[in-house]
Amino acid sequence: MSCFRRFVFCCAAVVFASIALAAPAFAQVTTGTITGRVSDTQGRVVPGATVTVTNKGTGQARSTNTSDSGDYTIAEVPAGKYDVTVAAHKG
């Protein structure tokens, strides 16, 4: 193999390795998941309550209802500081 071909091969290998090693950096996520369980003062779970998370910086809000076991999950929430409020429905 000539010096020129060896040089081109080495350059190509360096470029390929740089791209391959940089690819995982693009896979970083900037969102998270907020989960919890709503219970009353006696420790009983509260099914069907509305849980709202509000981003303190942007004011954007997202809501969900608790499951029969009082659990809730709000996925893909952008990073930030949030207020979490619960409204229980009387029934």
Nearest to 51 by CA among 88, 90, 91: 88
Contact 59, 26 (CB under 8 A): no
Residues with Cβ < 8 Å from 87, sequence gap 6 or more?
Answer: 49, 50, 52
| Fold classified for 3-87 | Immunoglobulin-like (2.60.40)
Contact 72, 64 (CB under 8 A): yes
Q: Domain coordinates of the chain in residue numbers?
A: 3-87
Q: What is the pLDDT of residues 23-71, one digit of tens each?
A: 555 567 789 999 999 998 899 999 999 999 999 999 999 999 999 999 9
> Radius of gyration of the chain from Cα atoms?
25
pTM of the model: 0.68
